[in-house]
Amino acid sequence: MKKYLLVFTLILFSSVIANAQKENMVAVNQLVIVANHSGPVISKDIYGHFSEHLGTCIYGGIWVGTDSKIPNTYGIRNDVLFALREMKIPNLRWPGGCFADTYHWRDGIGPQEKRASIINTNWGGVTEDNSFGTHEFMKLTELVGCDAYISGNVGSGTVREMADWVEYLTSGSDSPMTRLRKENGQDQPWKVKFFAIGNENWGCGGNMTPEFYGDVMRQFSTYLKDFSGNRLYRVACGASDNDLQWTETLMKEPKNRGMFQGISLHYYSVPGGWGRKSSATVFDENDWFETFRLNYDMDRIIRGHAAIMDRYDPMKTKGLVVDEWGNWFQVEPGTNPGFLYQQNTLRDAITAAIHLNIFNQHADRVKVANLAQVVNVLQSVILTKDDKMVLTPTYYVFKMFKVHQEAQLLNTDLRCEDYVVGDRRIPAISASASVDKDGKMHISLANLNPNKEITITCPVIGDTFKTVSGEVLTAKEMAAYNDFDKPESVKPESFSSFNLKDGILTVKMPAKSVVVLELKK
């Protein structure tokens, strides 16, 4: 009875707010939170990241080699290791991306001096010496304390090659692959949580039709075995953007659904379009607005694919894996166009907040997500240059939002004013809320309007909280960013512009800001 009373109260709140807005009364910004009616667990894995052999993501960004003067552990940069641990990264995807479907794992094992060099035909045409391979990646995940997400080569690889890789990684039984791993210095098998059956097989991974890929996926998946207690979460290659037909084709066949646990989705926000990408640091308010309009499309795209998945998988046994997302701008002037190096501003921080709030709200279906990419590529959380390292505004949003990992999503109802530019409008506020295992509530908010402070009231129904604390990320300029000569231009600060009285939290969000609040009983 209590549960239904709370739902009725939420509906009543929503109705009053909606009527007020419909009658053009004073603008209402309100987030109603039902504190004791929690929803699904927010998987920590939606806070995952992506590392590809692209530009300086791996070489220089993560891997410097054991002979480097840059402080390292087993050749992996110490400053990057510490930063990733602080951010509480749950999983890391590797080796691609498009690179994955040209990658042959045996090139990257054994003595460094004997490893084969190849040409990275996807990204810049540079020579790849394979000094960073399977053992180095698994050591990286071990040092960071995160799970491995490995993308297998379907596009140019073979079934046996992929099956052998899984056995090499995870088998503890005596076999040629196990003995080879031991010869290369790893006696015990590793644990591998996620394994992708190809990447973008509708494009760089083979230009396949969904019907053809479905057949190939089943063949490859058949031979991806679970060894020595390790259980693979097999990820089928899913759609790009709005390609609902790809998802429909894979999901409608029971024989397909039985061969994977998750299906991927890739979506990038590209202001100006692929042919006319805009600058990462030189932009006006129209670009600012357009970026967030595209960011909000992620919610619509997820809903479209999730509706198809619900039709064939109503019990939600299959996860949606958004393993590539983020803003894609022009490369920085003077850099290799194939390296995809772009700066990272306050705009990117708000982009991250919008996406993470959307993923939180879809926690019933979205189980994994990976920002592209972790270091020096696209919307990265870390930039490096020789021995220097910079944490980007996006990094700080992930660090602020880590409180949602493995917490339970709370039912909320957000009604807010629009952010208007010309004749276009989008919601001015992005939000989500959760409660953790210790009973602490966390509310994450973003004010997209760069010109206006917004006050939002948050009635908390069903529980009582006594204390509030918070952090805010903002800056004076829309295009503010951290660089090697000014590494802390944009960073979180303590936030106190709130009031909690009689179960109603009132928050004054600065213009163009991200706010995370913690409520304790």
Report the catalytic residues.
200, 324
Helix/strand/coil for 41: strand
Q: Which residue has the tokens 């189980």?
A: 367
In angstroms, the CA 494 to CA 345 distance is: 20
In angstroms, the CA 81 to CA 43 distance is: 22
In angstroms, the CA 517 to CA 466 distance is: 13
> Letter for the amino acid at 427?
P
In angstroms, the CA 171 to CA 178 distance is: 6
Residue closest to 416 by CA, chosen among 446, 443, 391: 446
Q: Who contacts 215 (Cβ-Cβ below 8 Å, separation ≥6)?
A: none
Q: Are strands 147-151 and 194-197 parallel, antiparallel or unpaired?
A: parallel
Rg (CA), the chain: 23
The b/e string for 211-250 (b: 16+ C-beta within 10 A; e otherwise) is eebbebbbebbeebeebeebebbbbbbbbbeebeebbbbb
With residue 421 as reference, give the H or E element that holds it.
Answer: strand 418-421
> Letter for the amino acid at 325?
W
- The C-alpha angle with vertex 219 and arms to 217 and 223, in degrees rounded to 5, equals 110
In angstroms, the CA 355 to CA 342 distance is: 19
| Count of residues making up the chain | 521
Inter-axis angle of helices 176-183 and 159-170, nearest 10: 60
- For the chain, what is the largest distance between any 2 Cα atoms, rounded to a whole number of angstroms? 74
Q: Are strands 454-461 and 504-509 parallel, antiparallel or unpaired?
A: antiparallel
- Helices marked H in 63-175: 78-87, 134-144, 159-170
Beta bridge partners, 515, equal 445, 472
With residue 222 as reference, give the H or E element that holds it.
Answer: helix 210-222
Residue closest to 55 by CA, chosen among 311, 380, 345: 380
Which token pair is 217? 């996926």
Which token pair is 144? 């960071």
Residue closest to 355 by CA, chosen among 235, 448, 488: 448
149: DSSP letter: E
